[in-house]
């Protein structure tokens, strides 16, 4: 049976391949140390989260606007009914998993520490602290601003036309804020892993 014919099979295949690569590259299994594992999961979930953030802002929202403007076209119903709810589920879960695995990685790191990082007292410097705070603001935006308002926009929660219009604007601004924050946040996270320097 071809594992690529299902989403679960594809995900499992990716993890199996990653484990095989890790064993090949580091047969002593040092790659499976808890901290390495937490950072790998943090990066994996982060790619999923930011990828969906960019998909919503650069692909789905403009496409839905075009579909609404196209009087003779199929309209945005398929996206709103089938694509958006599923994408938003992955988006929310990836956001939570990214933050939780990042918190885990910080808590077991001798260079940072969870509390020290958020208080800008980590021995390794402020880059990770800035990145962690930006990621936390982004997580807040996902769960407190984007998701509750998207439920109104998609008709999952009853709302008047005025409430839907306001919800669209609030969700859009929170999502755009996350796009803006994602750029320096990634700079901080990658820079922190390279001794604080990228340029």
Query: Where are the chain's structural domains?
Result: 1-32, 33-192
Average pLDDT, the chain: 91
Spatial contact of 191 and 198, defined as CB atoms under 8 Å apart: yes
Can you tell me the distance from the alpha carbon of 148 to that of 159, in angstroms, rounded to the nearest whole number? 11
C-beta neighbour count of 39 within 10 angstroms: 19
pLDDT: is 94 or 61 the higher one? 94
Each residue's pLDDT tens digit, 84-141: 999 999 999 999 999 999 999 999 988 899 999 999 999 888 999 999 999 999 999 9
Nearest-5° Cα angle at 114, 109 to 116: 100
Global pTM? Answer: 0.89
CA-nearest of 139, 148, 116, 138 to 129 is 116
CA-based end-to-end distance of the chain: 47
Distance of CA 151 to the CA centre of its chain: 19
Q: Give the model's pLDDT for residue 10.
A: 95
Can you tell me the distance from the alpha carbon of 24 to that of 46, in angstroms, rounded to the nearest whole number? 25
Question: How large a percentage of the chain has pLDDT more than 90?
Answer: 68
């Amino acid at each position: 049976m071809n594992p690529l014919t299902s989403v679960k099979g594809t995900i499992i295949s990716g993890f199996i391949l990653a484990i095989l690569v890790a064993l090949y590259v580091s047969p002593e299994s040092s790659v499976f140390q808890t901290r390495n594992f937490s950072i790998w999961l943090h990066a994996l979930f982060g790619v999923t989260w930011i990828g969906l953030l960019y998909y919503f802002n650069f692909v789905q929202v403009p496409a839905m606007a075009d579909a609404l403007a196209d009087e003779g076209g199929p309209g945005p119903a398929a996206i709103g009914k089938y694509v958006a709810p599923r994408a938003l589920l992955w988006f929310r879960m990836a956001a939570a998993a990214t933050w939780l695995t990042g918190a885990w990685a910080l808590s077991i790191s001798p260079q940072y520490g969870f509390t020290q990082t958020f208080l800008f007292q980590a021995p390794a410097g402020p880059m990770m602290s800035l990145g962690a705070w930006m990621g936390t603001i982004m997580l807040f935006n996902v769960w407190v601003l984007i998701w509750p308002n998207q439920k109104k926009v998609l008709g999952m929660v009853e709302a008047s036309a005025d409430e839907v219009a306001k919800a669209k604007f609030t969700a859009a601004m929170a999502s755009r804020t996350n796009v803006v924050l994602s750029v320096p946040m990634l700079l901080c996270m990658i820079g922190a892993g390279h001794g604080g320097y990228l340029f």
